[in-house]
A = this chain, B = another copy of it.
Amino acid sequence: MDTQLVQPKQTFMNLAPEKRESIVRAAAAEFAAQGYQRASLNNIVKQLGISKGSLYQYFDNKEALFLHVFDHFTLQVKQYVKASAAGNGRDDFFAVARQVLLAGIAFIDSHPEYFQVYLKVLFERDVPRREELVARVRLFSLEYFGPLADRAMEQGVLRRDIPPHKVVFILDALLDRFLQGYAQPHFDGGLALAGMSADRLHDEIDSMVAVLRTGLQPSDMGE
């Protein structure tokens, strides 16, 4: 499940780590800007100042390069989520949601191009192994919040008249939209998240979580 999507050629592995990273970064920027199909290998090699032949010594073809970039992306996401989950094992359902939201913001801040690549994959057809790629990033909902919601329901911290899978849908939709609105304009429903200061952003997150809490908690737990 978390094996690599593709193996670069040995020649690529022999490169200095800084060079490897600069290549992945340049490719990610191009895929983020153009999507898979329209991304141009000529642009990438021009940006890097290397020849096209060299790129083909590192990767079999465009698809292999793209999949390697995506591998890099999923690795980074996992690190961020793992880091955010650490030390918060005993927090309640909504506190965890807040942590994930903060981790998402932090990830977009430090790797904006990777999140763009992911968005492009979602909305582009003819992306190689698209289904598989999307499934790997579904950690915000099913694999992650699903069991969490089930447990929360058992513990009675969620309204009994709302099925857990609907709680997950609502949470997933709001968190994802929040992150999309942060990553690119027109998706924030007028909240103007994109250029917001960190403080205001944290306020916005806290009040959003508070709304979720009042809406989804049983009424006898106090509002």
Q: Which residues of A contact B (CB under 8 A)?
A: 33-35, 37-38, 119-120, 122-125, 131, 134, 138, 141-142, 146, 159, 162, 165-166, 168-170, 172-174, 176-178, 186-191, 207-208, 211-212, 214-216, 219, 223
Tell me if B37 and A166 are in contact (CB < 8 A): no
- Complex copy number for this chain: 2
Give chain B residues whose Cβ lies under 8 Å from the Cβ of A120. Answer: 123
A193 to chain B: closest residue by CB: B169
Give chain B residues whose Cβ lies under 8 Å from the Cβ of A138. Answer: 186
For the complex formed, measure the closest distance between the CB of A135 and the CB atoms of chain B, giving whole angstroms: 8
> In the bound complex, how far is the Cα of B56 from the Cα of A145, in angstroms?
52
Tell me if B172 and A174 are in contact (CB < 8 A): no
Starting from the known contacts A141-B189, A165-B190, 14 additional A-B residue pairs (CB-CB under 8 Å) come to A38-B38, A122-B187, A131-B186, A134-B186, A141-B190, A165-B191, A168-B190, A169-B188, A169-B190, A170-B174, A173-B173, A174-B174, A177-B177, A211-B216
Q: Which of B37, B186, B212 contacts A122, CB < 8 Å?
A: B186
Tell me if B211 and A214 are in contact (CB < 8 A): no
> In the bound complex, how far is the Cα of B55 from the Cα of A93, in angstroms?
57
11 A–B contacts, CB within 8 A, in A order: A122-B123, A122-B186, A123-B123, A166-B191, A166-B207, A166-B208, A169-B188, A169-B189, A169-B190, A173-B178, A176-B177
